[in-house]
Structure 1
Amino acid sequence: MSAGVLSPDWASAFHAVPRSAFLPDLMWPFDMSTGRSTAVNKADDPAGWLRYADSDAPIVTQWDDGKHSGTEPGQVSTSSASMPSVVFSMLRDLDVRVGHRVLEIGTGTGWNAALLAHRLGAENVVTVEVDAAVAAAARASLDRFGTPVRVVHGDGLQGCPDAAPYDRIIATCGLRSIPFSWVRQCRSHGIIVAPWGTHYDNGDAVARLIVAADGRSASGTFTGPVEFMKLRAQRLPPMVHTDYVPGSVADGDESSTTITEAQFVAGRFSPQRFALSLLVRDCRHVVAEKEDGARPVWFYGLTDRSWACVQFRDGAPARVWQSGPRRLWDEAEAAYRWWEEEGRPGFDRFGLTVDRHGERIWLDAPDNPVPARAGWP
């Protein structure tokens, strides 16, 4: 586990509640560097299974909402056991204390709930899981381990109002909008920790929100990048390229840009990419593989059929094609310039406020909102 992630107050839980006790015999460890999952069966390779169980790697435990069968990976991973380093980083952000009651959204294997129960007592933890089979398996694992946490099969967006109020709420799935119902179910000065992002890409950042004294809002900054399976109700359907570009990019309006590939194509967990995701809303962004010195980057509008493509090529200016009511590359370029002008802010300078009217993204302070998309060219 990464140094500094496991805080002293969580060390005993880490040793007393092994992740291996909550994993199925057939699982698919995920390789972050290759983006691939490989099946490992406990019956066939017990040593390898335990090695992966104890590793700091995410492990897929369900594919295709349970419709998958066999040992080969499915199409879409839909439940998993997160990297221990991510789990304990988020638990550190949650800052639980003796006597606290916690609501967890996204039970998964049940390991995270068991860790919380070790610190707080099983009676003080409620966890909600949307998938009936996943919920049943987690409930069985928790009971078998001696931590009979209440597992609710239901929609996590609704929280669990009949057991509210809670001192802490934590989500273990990626959100594209944090519901105000969670704020209502959390005590004044309580903490909500949730991976949050936009549909720009699959990346998330951990929002750590503190509920206001009057309970009418929750606000806070982001603590760092993560990537979680998305809340099922907020998943983005697969993008079909030909729905946007039935012919050739040459059908779009052509221009160029002075922004280089090195400047624009940042890493998947970079603050630059997160910043652009906040400003270029209602848009999906896809970075293609580089071939023969060329790398296209695509943008697809989510409210209409606007699209854009910028093609970076070694040793030549980047070419741009755009089509539709929105000039998506113009928006992306303006967002990149804004990020540079603001001093290239990192995750911790951005913040989120949630109230009954919705969400507001801000930079440095709640009264300094990030510009809305309507403000770009």
Structure 2
Amino acid sequence: MKEPPVGKHSFPLCGTGWGQVLEATPRCLFLPDLIWPLDASNGRYETIDRAADPDGWRAWADADVPIVTQWDDGRHTGREPGTMATSSASQPSLVVRMLAALDVEPGHRVLDVGVGTGWTTGLLAARAGAANVTGIEFDARVAEAARARLDAIGVDPKVITGDGAAGWAPAAPYDRLQGTYGVLRIPPAWIDQTRHGGLIVAPWRTPFVHGGAVVRLTVNADGSASGPFTGAAEFMQSRPERFAWVAHTDYIPSNDAWPVGTAESRTSLRPDDLRTLDGAAEFVIGCAVPDVVHTISDDDDGTTSAWFYELNGDSWAVVYFDQDPEAEVYQGGPRRLWDEIEAAHRWWAAQGRPEHERFGLTVGPAGESVWLDNPHQPIPGGRQAEKARTPRP
């Protein structure tokens, strides 16, 4: 069995009023007996059973790693990891970072969207007062388990079962709103139900890549909200925002020939230019090239293939990377997706390859705008003032 990490995670927030709360409300109180922590050394999920290995279970519970607590919307059975993680206890250091950004004070009215195990809801209740905290959880069974854990430690915030995108108007307006799952758009209800000057802290992403960034928005009197991203983060996505992966044959009907109108070119970009190890490149591309998903695979012949598909149209692109300094590009449809991607990467590189923390988000009635350094410098491309679209079914 894989040895768990040694030592308990320490929380550097004692000066902010959170340290005592975190120490008094540890994550282990909110975990089921069977958990699947992520082993960062190999990128795999371990199966840890409290009954079989109580010391190992506690060590993983205290470790600074995310822990999956549900697979496949609860349909999963057995001890081995399932196909898709659908509920989890977040990495403690990330929880700490988000709590610091949320800046909750005693007496604040708080909405916690995405209760999960109940840990963050319990932390917020301990800080702001249980009567001031409302949590929302989409999955009824997950919500019920969270209520039981909160009750077991004598904390009783209201936990609602429902769609977090709708917020919870009966307890509004809120001073603070925290989202604990990745959203493709900031729901309007979150802004409407947060008071002017209040804060929203939530993970935000694009369809281009699962990872995104945590944003800290201040709600303005005109109904807009704006603020910086505080750092990269990857969360489980909003269940109502899920969409089926595209069918390759909808774009490339035949394996024998490229569709009519296919354009050929070459590029000097490499696979690592599109992966997370190259800073915020994927994040910027997702903002500048809207409604596009992609997949990168290493092929048996030593080449790497990167496919790009437009969610709401027929445009596509593929790049074949090999040992040649320039890779082959094929693209078709009304949009030239690779040209857009290359332009976005070129812009990002020209700005000095800025990390997530230099970007910010503004949300208003017209849509969303991602910017660099200040709202007057929007990322060039199609994500500005763009309203939500319905993905291809």
Q: Secondary structure at the match of 2:210?
A: coil
Instruction: Indicate how the Cα distance of structure 1 residues 261 and 231 shifts in structure 2: closer, same or farther if over 3 A, else same.
Output: closer
Task: Find 1:240's aligned residue among 241, 247, 253.
Answer: 247
Which stretch shifts more, 248-257 or 46-55?
A: 248-257
Matches within 5 A, 1:203-242: 203-212=211-220, 214-242=221-249
Q: Secondary structure at the match of 1:202?
A: strand
Partner of 1:255 in structure 2?
265
Cα distance per residue 1:275-319 (max 9 Å; x no partner)? 111111100022223655422122111012322111221244211
Partner of 2:321 in structure 1?
312
Instruction: Indicate how the Cα distance of structure 1 residues 249 and 41 shifts in structure 2: closer, same or farther if over 3 A, else same.
Output: farther
Task: Find 1:339's aligned residue among 334, 348, 353.
Answer: 348
The answer on whether the counterparts of 1:183 and 1:215 sit within 8 Å (CA) in structure 2 is no
Instruction: Indicate how the Cα distance of structure 1 residues 244 and 73 shifts in structure 2: closer, same or farther if over 3 A, else same.
Output: farther
Counterpart of 1:310 in structure 2: which amino acid? Answer: V
The answer on whether the counterparts of 1:306 and 1:326 sit within 8 Å (CA) in structure 2 is yes
- TM-score w.r.t. the length of structure 1 is 0.93
Matches within 5 A, 1:1-377: 6=13, 8-9=15-16, 10-212=18-220, 214-248=221-255, 251=258, 252-262=262-272, 264-267=273-276, 270-289=279-298, 291-373=300-382
The answer on whether the counterparts of 1:249 and 1:321 sit within 8 Å (CA) in structure 2 is no
Q: Secondary structure at the match of 1:373?
A: coil
Partners of 2:361 and 2:314 in 1: CA distance? 29
Q: Secondary structure at the match of 2:306?
A: strand
Partners of 2:185 and 2:156 in 1: CA distance? 30
Partners of 1:201 and 1:104 in 2: CA distance? 25
Counterpart of 2:137 in structure 1: which amino acid? Answer: E
Counterpart of 1:84 in structure 2: which amino acid? Answer: P
Instruction: Indicate how the Cα distance of structure 1 residues 372 and 55 shifts in structure 2: closer, same or farther if over 3 A, else same.
Output: same
Partners of 1:205 and 1:27 in 2: CA distance? 26
Partners of 1:293 and 1:33 in 2: CA distance? 25
The answer on whether the counterparts of 1:77 and 1:229 sit within 8 Å (CA) in structure 2 is yes
Instruction: Indicate how the Cα distance of structure 1 residues 247 and 49 shifts in structure 2: closer, same or farther if over 3 A, else same.
Output: farther
Cα distance per residue 1:123-159 (max 9 Å; x no partner)? 1111000100000000000010111111000110010
Structure 1 gaps of 5+ residues are none
The answer on whether the counterparts of 2:14 and 2:20 sit within 8 Å (CA) in structure 1 is no
Q: Secondary structure at the match of 2:377?
A: coil
The answer on whether the counterparts of 1:276 and 1:332 sit within 8 Å (CA) in structure 2 is yes
Partners of 1:162 and 1:353 in 2: CA distance? 26
Partners of 1:253 and 1:96 in 2: CA distance? 53
Q: Secondary structure at the match of 1:335?
A: helix
Deviation, 1:333, is: 0.5
The answer on whether the counterparts of 1:295 and 1:311 sit within 8 Å (CA) in structure 2 is yes
Structure 1: which 4+ aligned runs deviate by more than 6 Å?
A: 1-4
The answer on whether the counterparts of 1:63 and 1:78 sit within 8 Å (CA) in structure 2 is yes
**How many residues are treated as equivalent by the alignment?**
373
Q: Secondary structure at the match of 1:203?
A: strand
Partners of 1:250 and 1:355 in 2: CA distance? 45
Counterpart of 2:187 in structure 1: which amino acid? Answer: P
